Amino acid sequence: MIGKLLLSVKANKKMAQFKKWASFGENLKVYHCSGCFADKAGLIEIGANCEVAGTLYSMADGTITIGDHTEIRENSFIGSVNSVSIGSHVIISNNIKIYDNNNHPTSPAARHQMCQNGFHGEAWRWTHADSAPVVIEDDVWIGERSVVLKGVRIGRGSIIGCDSVVTKDVPPFSVAAGNPARVVKQLEDDLDE
């Protein structure tokens, strides 16, 4: 009983964090392991009837938009300095990483200077890295421990296999798997419009 009460208190604190940084529809469910952070409010939007057990992080003017009936499971992390758009009825499994940026500059000299100046501060912000929007369309399922990188579009109804690294677009109604992820199967479009 005490354990459930403590988890409830932690979840309430997390909900306050979501209210500070995000706008969301009805029936949002967050957990003690959930997180929501931004440089400023108004850049994270979550639809109705969603569950978020992972972390959403907006830096600078990066937007994160999530449709209705979407689930983001534990230890998943979505980071934006540009734009991450996730559709409705999407399943983002455990331990997923989605970034619309490289996190750090690719220039060795820039990275050398970052380390020389200490391990925190302005030089470490994602704004100094290349970025491109990520789009995950409706009805997508992303399997455990997968990574989705900048500039990728995952088409409607697709599946990303466990442990995949998605570096290129995935067409609608496809199964993609591997590192780098490649289309390994086509799915039937059995969705009713």
Residues known to be catalytic: 104
Other C-beta atoms lying within 10 Å of the C-beta of residue 149 = 19
Paired sense of beta strands 51-52 and 71-72, if any: parallel
Q: DSSP assignment, residue 110? A: H
* Residue 46, burial from CB neighbour count under 10 angstroms (0-12, 13-18, 19+): buried
Judged by DSSP in three states, 85 sits in strand
